[in-house]
A and B are shown apart, each in its own frame.
Chain A
Amino acid sequence: MANTDFRTCSLSGLKIHRSSELLIRWNLIAAFATLAVGGLMGLLVLLTRWPSVHLLPVEHYYRFLTAHGLDALLAWIIFFEIALVHFTSAVLLGTRSYVTWLGWVAFALMLIGGALINTIVVLGRADVMFTSYVPLKADPLYYLGVILFAVGALIGFIHFFINIVLSKRDGGFKRSLPLGSFGLAAASIIGILTLAHGAAIFLPTLLWSMDVIPTIDPSAYRLVFWGLGHSSQQINVCAMVAVWYMTSAFVVGGKPVNEKLSRTAFVLYILFINLASEHHLLVDPVLSSWHKVVNTSYMMHLAVLASMIHAFAIPASMEVALRKQGYTRGLFEWLKKAPWGNPAFSGVIISIVLFGFLGGITGVIFGTEQFAIIRHNTFAITGHFHGTVVAGTTIAFMAFTYLLIPFIFKRELIWKGFASIQPWLYGAGVATLSIGMMSAGSFGVPRRHYDITFSGAPFSFTFDPAIDMFMSMMGVGGVLAAAGGFLFILIAFGSIIFGKKMEQR
Chain B
Amino acid sequence: MAIHEPERIWWNPLSKDERVWVGVALIWMLVSFIFMPVYHLVGSQNPPSTTYSVKADDFDKLVEGMVGKYKVGEENGFPVVHPDPSEPVFIRASMWQWYPILELEKGKTYKVHLSSIDIQHGFSLQPINMNLMALPGYDYVIKLTPTSTGEFHIVCNEYCGVGHHTMVGKMYVK
Contact = CB atoms under 8 A, between A and B. Distances in A.
A302 interface: yes
A296 to B, nearest CB: 8
Contact of A451 (B36, B76, B165): B165
A258 B15 contact: yes
The bracket for how many chain B residues form the interface is 35 or more
Contacts of B33: 297-298, 301
Most chain A beta-carbon contacts within 10 A, residue among B3, B25, B163, B167: B3
Interface string B83-95: 0000000000000
B151 to A, nearest CB: 9
28 contacts: A136-B120, A175-B5, A249-B1, A255-B1, A284-B133, A285-B138, A288-B49, A293-B37, A297-B37, A301-B30, A301-B33, A309-B21, A364-B32, A368-B36, A369-B46, A373-B131, A374-B45, A376-B122, A376-B131, A444-B127, A448-B164, A449-B165, A450-B164, A455-B166, A457-B165, A457-B166, A459-B170, A461-B155
Contacts of B157: 376-378, 446-449
B116 to A, nearest CB: 9
Contact of B22 (A62, A249, A261, A289): A261
Interface in B105-160: 114, 118-120, 122, 124, 126-127, 129-133, 135-140, 153, 155-160
Contacts of A249: 1-4
Given A377-B124, A447-B157, A454-B168, A258 B2 contact: no
B1 A254 contact: yes
A458 B170 CA distance: 9
B36 A446 contact: no
Given A180-B2, A282-B47, A301 B131 contact: no
Nearest to A380: B129
Interface string A29-73: 000000000000000000000000000001100100000000000
Contacts of B14: 258, 260-261
Interface residues of A, number: 94
Interface string A169-194: 00001111111100000000000000
Contacts of B47: 282-283, 289, 292, 369, 372-373
Nearest to A284: B133
Contacts of B139: 285
B72 interface: no
Contact of B2 (A245, A284, A297): A245
Contacts of B18: 257-258, 261, 312-313
Interface stretch (A127-135, A147-155, A331-339, A478-486): A127-135
Nearest to A12: B3
A175 to B, nearest CB: 7
B166 A286 contact: no
A26 interface: no
A219 interface: yes
A285 B123 CA distance: 12
Nearest to B78: A458
Contacts, number: 250
Contacts of A258: 12, 14-15, 18
A123 to B, nearest CB: 16
A218 B36 contact: no
Most chain B beta-carbon contacts within 10 A, residue among A305, A369, A376: A376
Contacts of A317: 2
A285 B119 contact: no
Given A245-B2, A444-B127, A454-B166, 4 more contacts: A135-B136, A175-B8, A217-B137, A260-B11
Q: Is the interface of A mostly helix, strand, loop or mixed?
A: loop
Contacts of A176: 5-6, 10
Interface of A: 12, 14, 58-59, 62, 92, 127, 129, 133-136, 173-180, 217-219, 222, 242, 245-246, 248-250, 253-261, 263, 282-289, 292-293, 296-298, 301-302, 304-305, 308-309, 312-313, 316-317, 364, 368-370, 372-378, 442-444, 446-452, 454-461, 463-464
A12 B3 CA distance: 10
B160 A463 contact: no
A291 B163 CA distance: 34
Contact of B10 (A259, A444, A459): A259
B76 A458 contact: yes
Given A283-B132, A463-B126, A136 B2 contact: no
Contacts of A133: 119-120, 158
Nearest to B133: A284
Interface string B1-43: 1111110101110110110011001100110110011011001
B45 A373 contact: yes
A279 to B, nearest CB: 10
Nearest to B122: A377
Given A180-B2, A446-B155, A219 B135 contact: yes
